[in-house]
Amino acid sequence: QKEVEQDPGPLSVPEGAIVSLNCTYSNSAFQYFMWYRQYSRKGPELLMYTYSSGNKEDGRFTAQVDKSSKYISLFIRDSQPSDSATYLCAILSSNTGKLIFGQGTTLQVKP
Amino acid sequence: DAGVIQSPRHEVTEMGQEVTLRCKPISGHDYLFWYRQTMMRGLELLIYFNNNVPIDDSGMPEDRFSAKMPNASFSTLKIQPSEPRDSAVYFCASSPRQGASEAFFGQGTRLTVV
Protein backbone atom coordinates (compact mmCIF):
# COMPACT_ATOMS: atom_id res chain seq x y z
CA GLN A 1 0.00 0.00 0.00
CA LYS A 2 1.27 3.44 -0.90
CA GLU A 3 1.71 5.85 1.98
CA VAL A 4 -0.31 8.49 0.14
CA GLU A 5 -3.13 7.69 -2.27
CA GLN A 6 -4.55 10.23 -4.70
CA ASP A 7 -6.89 9.78 -7.64
CA PRO A 8 -4.94 10.91 -10.72
CA GLY A 9 -8.07 12.03 -12.58
CA PRO A 10 -8.11 13.79 -14.99
CA LEU A 11 -10.77 16.13 -13.67
CA SER A 12 -12.49 18.58 -16.02
CA VAL A 13 -14.83 21.30 -14.74
CA PRO A 14 -16.41 24.47 -16.15
CA GLU A 15 -15.12 27.86 -15.07
CA GLY A 16 -16.66 28.95 -11.78
CA ALA A 17 -17.19 25.44 -10.45
CA ILE A 18 -16.14 24.29 -7.00
CA VAL A 19 -13.37 21.71 -7.21
CA SER A 20 -12.70 19.06 -4.58
CA LEU A 21 -9.39 17.18 -4.55
CA ASN A 22 -8.69 14.43 -2.06
CA CYS A 23 -5.98 12.20 -0.64
CA THR A 24 -5.71 9.50 1.97
CA TYR A 25 -2.61 8.56 3.89
CA SER A 26 -1.72 5.56 6.00
CA ASN A 27 1.03 6.57 8.42
CA SER A 28 0.14 8.63 11.49
CA ALA A 29 3.81 9.61 11.87
CA PHE A 30 3.34 12.33 9.29
CA GLN A 31 2.34 15.58 10.92
CA TYR A 32 2.27 18.15 8.13
CA PHE A 33 0.02 18.16 5.12
CA MET A 34 0.65 20.14 2.01
CA TRP A 35 -0.74 20.84 -1.40
CA TYR A 36 1.56 21.57 -4.30
CA ARG A 37 0.58 22.80 -7.74
CA GLN A 38 2.49 21.82 -10.85
CA TYR A 39 2.12 23.44 -14.23
CA SER A 40 3.13 21.59 -17.35
CA ARG A 41 6.88 21.10 -17.68
CA LYS A 42 7.57 22.85 -14.39
CA GLY A 43 8.51 21.71 -10.91
CA PRO A 44 5.84 21.58 -8.19
CA GLU A 45 5.31 24.69 -6.06
CA LEU A 46 3.82 24.88 -2.59
CA LEU A 47 0.22 26.07 -2.54
CA MET A 48 -0.81 25.51 1.08
CA TYR A 49 0.16 23.59 4.17
CA THR A 50 -1.43 22.72 7.47
CA TYR A 51 -0.59 20.59 10.48
CA SER A 52 -3.81 20.26 12.38
CA SER A 53 -7.21 18.83 11.75
CA GLY A 54 -9.66 21.37 10.45
CA ASN A 55 -9.75 23.94 7.70
CA LYS A 56 -7.29 26.51 6.45
CA GLU A 57 -8.31 29.15 3.93
CA ASP A 58 -6.24 31.18 1.52
CA GLY A 59 -8.30 33.16 -0.94
CA ARG A 60 -10.22 30.76 -3.16
CA PHE A 61 -8.40 27.76 -1.72
CA THR A 62 -9.31 25.77 1.39
CA ALA A 63 -7.23 22.91 2.76
CA GLN A 64 -8.96 20.45 5.04
CA VAL A 65 -7.42 17.74 7.20
CA ASP A 66 -9.15 14.97 9.10
CA LYS A 67 -6.45 13.14 11.06
CA SER A 68 -8.86 10.62 12.53
CA SER A 69 -9.74 9.42 9.03
CA LYS A 70 -6.31 10.15 7.54
CA TYR A 71 -8.00 12.18 4.85
CA ILE A 72 -6.91 15.49 3.33
CA SER A 73 -8.77 17.69 0.86
CA LEU A 74 -8.29 20.81 -1.19
CA PHE A 75 -11.25 22.87 -2.30
CA ILE A 76 -11.06 25.49 -5.01
CA ARG A 77 -13.91 27.97 -5.21
CA ASP A 78 -14.81 29.91 -8.34
CA SER A 79 -12.30 27.91 -10.36
CA GLN A 80 -10.49 29.72 -13.16
CA PRO A 81 -8.81 28.45 -16.35
CA SER A 82 -5.52 29.53 -14.79
CA ASP A 83 -6.10 26.90 -12.08
CA SER A 84 -5.60 24.20 -14.72
CA ALA A 85 -2.62 22.23 -13.43
CA THR A 86 -1.70 19.07 -11.57
CA TYR A 87 -2.36 19.21 -7.83
CA LEU A 88 -0.25 17.02 -5.57
CA CYS A 89 -0.92 16.33 -1.93
CA ALA A 90 2.14 15.80 0.23
CA ILE A 91 2.83 14.63 3.75
CA LEU A 92 5.83 15.51 5.82
CA SER A 93 7.27 13.95 8.93
CA SER A 94 8.80 16.63 11.12
CA ASN A 95 10.78 13.93 12.96
CA THR A 96 12.61 12.61 9.93
CA GLY A 97 12.12 15.34 7.34
CA LYS A 98 10.70 12.79 4.92
CA LEU A 99 8.41 14.41 2.32
CA ILE A 100 6.29 12.18 0.09
CA PHE A 101 3.67 12.95 -2.51
CA GLY A 102 0.46 11.56 -3.86
CA GLN A 103 0.29 10.73 -7.53
CA GLY A 104 -1.25 14.09 -8.41
CA THR A 105 -4.64 14.99 -9.88
CA THR A 106 -4.72 16.73 -13.24
CA LEU A 107 -7.34 19.48 -13.30
CA GLN A 108 -8.66 21.28 -16.35
CA VAL A 109 -10.93 24.28 -15.93
CA LYS A 110 -12.75 25.07 -19.16
CA PRO A 111 -13.72 28.68 -19.98
CA ASP B 1 19.25 33.05 -4.99
CA ALA B 2 18.64 31.40 -8.38
CA GLY B 3 16.67 28.56 -6.86
CA VAL B 4 17.40 24.86 -7.22
CA ILE B 5 19.43 24.29 -10.36
CA GLN B 6 19.39 20.99 -12.19
CA SER B 7 21.39 19.90 -15.17
CA PRO B 8 20.99 18.83 -17.83
CA ARG B 9 17.40 19.85 -18.60
CA HIS B 10 17.08 17.08 -21.17
CA GLU B 11 19.06 13.90 -21.63
CA VAL B 12 18.68 11.29 -24.32
CA THR B 13 20.87 8.26 -23.99
CA GLU B 14 21.13 4.73 -25.24
CA MET B 15 20.29 1.75 -23.12
CA GLY B 16 23.30 0.57 -21.14
CA GLN B 17 24.94 3.97 -20.90
CA GLU B 18 25.73 5.72 -17.65
CA VAL B 19 23.65 8.77 -16.85
CA THR B 20 24.54 11.43 -14.28
CA LEU B 21 22.03 14.03 -13.16
CA ARG B 22 23.20 17.04 -11.20
CA CYS B 23 21.62 19.32 -8.65
CA LYS B 24 22.64 22.50 -6.89
CA PRO B 25 20.33 23.18 -3.92
CA ILE B 26 19.47 26.58 -2.53
CA SER B 27 22.26 27.85 -0.32
CA GLY B 28 21.60 27.24 3.35
CA HIS B 29 19.06 24.48 2.85
CA ASP B 30 19.67 21.43 5.00
CA TYR B 31 17.53 18.92 3.11
CA LEU B 32 17.89 17.68 -0.43
CA PHE B 33 15.44 15.33 -2.12
CA TRP B 34 15.57 13.38 -5.38
CA TYR B 35 12.23 12.45 -6.97
CA ARG B 36 11.22 10.65 -10.14
CA GLN B 37 7.97 11.52 -11.92
CA THR B 38 6.11 9.37 -14.44
CA MET B 39 2.52 9.35 -15.61
CA MET B 40 1.95 5.89 -14.19
CA ARG B 41 3.55 6.29 -10.76
CA GLY B 42 3.45 10.01 -10.09
CA LEU B 43 6.15 11.71 -8.03
CA GLU B 44 8.21 9.09 -6.21
CA LEU B 45 10.77 9.87 -3.54
CA LEU B 46 14.03 8.14 -4.40
CA ILE B 47 16.37 9.37 -1.67
CA TYR B 48 16.88 12.34 0.59
CA PHE B 49 19.81 13.88 2.45
CA ASN B 50 20.09 15.92 5.63
CA ASN B 51 23.27 17.95 5.94
CA ASN B 52 24.85 15.92 3.12
CA VAL B 53 24.10 12.59 4.81
CA PRO B 54 21.71 10.12 3.12
CA ILE B 55 18.79 9.53 5.47
CA ASP B 56 16.46 7.27 3.52
CA ASP B 57 17.26 5.58 0.21
CA SER B 58 14.43 3.06 0.36
CA GLY B 59 12.88 4.58 -2.75
CA MET B 60 15.89 3.88 -4.95
CA PRO B 61 14.51 1.26 -7.33
CA GLU B 62 17.61 -0.83 -7.93
CA ASP B 63 21.33 -1.01 -7.38
CA ARG B 64 21.73 0.63 -10.74
CA PHE B 65 20.77 3.88 -9.03
CA SER B 66 23.13 5.73 -6.73
CA ALA B 67 23.18 9.23 -5.26
CA LYS B 68 25.85 11.29 -3.61
CA MET B 69 26.10 14.64 -1.89
CA PRO B 70 29.80 15.42 -1.50
CA ASN B 71 29.10 18.91 -0.14
CA ALA B 72 26.26 21.21 0.77
CA SER B 73 26.06 22.74 -2.69
CA PHE B 74 26.07 19.74 -4.97
CA SER B 75 24.41 16.38 -5.44
CA THR B 76 24.36 13.76 -8.19
CA LEU B 77 22.04 10.94 -9.13
CA LYS B 78 23.66 8.29 -11.25
CA ILE B 79 22.09 5.45 -13.22
CA GLN B 80 24.42 2.76 -14.46
CA PRO B 81 23.52 1.00 -16.69
CA SER B 82 20.44 2.88 -17.86
CA GLU B 83 17.33 1.10 -19.16
CA PRO B 84 14.32 2.36 -21.15
CA ARG B 85 12.08 2.02 -18.08
CA ASP B 86 14.22 4.66 -16.37
CA SER B 87 12.76 7.25 -18.73
CA ALA B 88 11.08 9.88 -16.57
CA VAL B 89 11.45 13.41 -15.26
CA TYR B 90 13.83 13.55 -12.33
CA PHE B 91 13.39 16.38 -9.84
CA CYS B 92 15.69 17.66 -7.18
CA ALA B 93 14.26 19.69 -4.31
CA SER B 94 15.69 21.35 -1.24
CA SER B 95 14.18 22.66 1.97
CA PRO B 96 15.67 24.83 4.67
CA ARG B 97 14.92 22.88 7.85
CA GLN B 98 12.97 20.16 9.50
CA GLY B 99 9.32 20.82 10.15
CA ALA B 100 6.74 22.56 8.03
CA SER B 101 9.13 24.14 5.60
CA GLU B 102 8.53 24.44 1.92
CA ALA B 103 10.46 22.24 -0.48
CA PHE B 104 11.68 24.15 -3.51
CA PHE B 105 11.94 22.20 -6.72
CA GLY B 106 14.24 22.51 -9.65
CA GLN B 107 12.98 22.49 -13.22
CA GLY B 108 13.67 18.79 -13.56
CA THR B 109 15.72 16.67 -15.93
CA ARG B 110 13.75 14.88 -18.62
CA LEU B 111 15.54 11.59 -19.23
CA THR B 112 14.85 9.43 -22.25
CA VAL B 113 16.60 6.09 -22.56
CA VAL B 114 16.27 4.54 -26.02
Q: Tell me: the pLDDT tens digits for A35-62?
A: 999 999 999 999 998 888 889 999 999 9
For residue A96, give every residue at least 6 positions away whose Cβ sits within 8 Å of its Cβ, in sequence order, or none: A29, B55, B56
Burial of A5 by CB count in 10 Å (0-12 exposed, 13-18 middle, 19+ buried)?
Answer: middle
How far apart, in whole angstroms, are the C-alpha atoms of residue B28 and residue A15?
41
pLDDT cut 70: percent of chain A above it: 99
pLDDT number for residue A19: 97
Q: Which residues of B touch A (CB under 8 A)?
A: 4, 31, 33, 35, 41-43, 45, 48, 50, 55-56, 91, 93, 95, 98-100, 102-103, 105-108
Q: In chain A, what residues touch B9 (CB-CB under 8 Å)?
A: none
Task: Of B95, B102, B81, give the one whose Cα is nearest residue B14.
Answer: B81
Predicted confidence (pLDDT) at residue B87 exceeds the cutoff of 90? yes
Q: Which residues of B14-46 are buried (b: 16+ CB within 10 A; e: fewer)?
A: eeeeebebbbbbbeebbbbbbbbbeeeebbbbb
**Do B98 and A97 make contact, defined as CB atoms within 8 angstroms?**
yes
How far apart, in whole angstroms, are the C-alpha atoms of residue B34 and residue B57?
10
**Do A104 and B42 make contact, defined as CB atoms within 8 angstroms?**
yes
Q: What Cα–Cα distance (Å) separates residue A105 from each residue in A74, A78, B31?
A: 11, 18, 26
Interface test with B, best of A4, A51, A52, A101 (most B CBs within 10 A): A101
Q: In chain B, what residues touch A102 (CB-CB under 8 Å)?
A: 42
Predicted confidence (pLDDT) at residue B1 exceeds the cutoff of 80? no
Predicted confidence (pLDDT) at residue A111 exceeds the cutoff of 80? yes
pLDDT number for residue A94: 78
Predicted confidence (pLDDT) at residue A27 exceeds the cutoff of 90? no
Please indicate if any CB of chain B lies within 8 Å of the CB of A33: no
Q: Which residues of A54-83 are buried (b: 16+ CB within 10 A; e: fewer)?
A: eeeeeeebbbbbebeebebbbbbeebeeeb
Q: For residue range B37-79, what is the model confidence (pLDDT) as tens digits?
A: 999 899 999 999 999 999 999 999 889 999 999 999 999 999 9
**Do B45 and A101 make contact, defined as CB atoms within 8 angstroms?**
yes
> pLDDT tier at B98 (50, 70, 90 boundaries)?
low
